[in-house]
Structures are given as structure tokens and as C-alpha cells.
Amino acid sequence: MKKRFLIFIVAFLVTFVVGASFFVNDSVNILVYGLEGKRSDTMMVVMLDASKDSIHVISVPRDTYNPVEGHNGLGAKKLNAVYGFKEGGGTEGLISSVERITGIRIDHYIEVEYEGVKSVVDLVGGIPVNVPFDMKYSDPTATPPLYIDLKEGEQVLQGDDVIGYLRFRKSSDGKIREGDIQRIDRQQAFLKSAAVKVLSWKLPIVAKNALEYVQTDLTTFDTVKLGLGMIGASQDDLYFHVLPQERIGSGKDGLSYVFHSPEQTEALIQDIHNGVFDKEDPVEE
């Protein structure tokens, strides 16, 4: 099984992400993120290394503590706030913060719309998931509005329900509250299932449908080069990680933050570069 399904994994753009610009013996790092109003939501750094035929996806919690000089408002120290800054924000600001936190050079970016995820999921007939508990939540003021009503158990989710499953953080009655890390675990499990499902489809059709819903600095020529560079990759060369954390706790403003561990993060990146990493969870057909 080739790594052509990577795009679906990181942004439901299978053949497109596989088109980042690098040749056979080079590597490229891509920041993939979604938006929720003026804040970034799901964020992942995708590290592709053609010389090792490996793809590593590092999820970066949206609540990661990220103080930026000149921005001291309530919630401004969360990583997901950077995109909405009037000065030093947007994609450039987000990339700068992610580079500072992870120590990874970002070469390209892909900004994904929720409509793109829904479109691709519906195109392939839904994605099988195991909903861990009843999920019920409603927020008409969210961007886009959020209505979640899912029952516990294994099932095939279609577009709108998939978005709810991926975005769920708490129940309307307040009995269930999830942090970034729990949500990331669900998202990664979903992405592995999605990768398997999309393989049964003609990837160009999936990619064509998804490309309408992204903003990126990648070019079509880039996709061809990376596609050639990753042609030898197999399912055993795809790995998921979470930005190493030192602790989860409250900041001086009383808000909850994920405080990452610079030392452990550096060690993880070094292990990835050296080809030393956990192989316990390959994507299965």
C-alpha cells in the first residue's frame, strides 16, 4: 500500500499533499490546519522524507501555550489565537509560532475548510469509526455552527456527523469535557480509518473533489515531484505523534493550557531524523 493516501490523512487531499516540492533524496515539512472562526483548529506538521520513504504526522494541540510579544488579551497566549492576530497573524504568524515551538522548518502549508472534509467523506460513502460515548452538543454561534448528536458504538459516519465527531470537546450538559489530547487521539484514529477507506476509491477523483476547499502554496508541479519521490513508501512507514507535553494546567489568566516539553520535542524530532521511532501502530488494511 503506497503513501499516496497521505493527503486524505492530513487534509483529505490524497494526491495533492503528496505533491510538496522536493526531489527523491530530500525532505519537506508541511503545516496542515483547519479554521474555526478567526482561530486555527486542528493543526498537524507532516514530515515527509523521500530518502527514508517515511511520513510522520505530529499533531500540535490548539491549546499549546504560546506567548507572543504584544498580544496579552484573554486567550491570546493559546497557539490557536495566532491566526487571528491583526499584526503578526494569519498563515505567516501561525507558521512562525509552530516553527518556534517544534523546532521544525515549515516549507509549505495547507489550510483546509470543513466543507472539504464533508465533501470527501460523503464522496467515499462515509468513514467507519467507534464513537467512544454519546456525543451531544449544540452551538449555533460557532463558525461554522455546530450540532452534534452521536450515539456510542461502531458506525459509519457521513459528512456532517464526521465534522461533529472531530470537533467535539464537551457535552451540552457539562458532564463530558475533553481536552486537546483526548480529541487528538480520536482524530488520529479517524484518520487511520479514513486512509484505509479512501484506498478503495480512485485517488484522482478524491483529490479533484477536495482541492476546491483548500488554500495552499503548493503547485501542481510540486505534486508530481513528491509523488515520484515517495513512490517506494509502504503502510509501515506512516507514523502519528503528539507534540510532547510537560504538563497540562492553568496559566496566570486562569485558562487551561498544554505546556509542551522543549527537551522531549527536540528528542522526538532527532529520533525522526535518525530513523528511530515507535513502529507499534502501522496503518492496516
Does 107 score more than 80 pLDDT?
A: yes
Name beta bridge partners: 23. Answer: none
| Greater model confidence, 277 or 217 | 217
Tens of pLDDT along 154-176?
999 998 898 889 888 888 887 88
| Residue 11 near residue 17, CB atoms below 8 Å | yes
What whole-number distance in Å separates Cα of residue 269 and Cα of residue 275? Answer: 10
pLDDT of residue 94: 97
Q: What is the 3-state secondary structure (H, E, C) of 221-264?
A: HHHHHHHHHCCCCCHHHEEEEECCEEEEEECCCCCEEEEECHHH
Dihedral (CA of 110, 272, 48, 114) sign: negative
The residue among 200, 16, 224 whose CA lies nearest residue 112 is 16
pLDDT score of 122: 86
25 DSSP 8-state letter: T
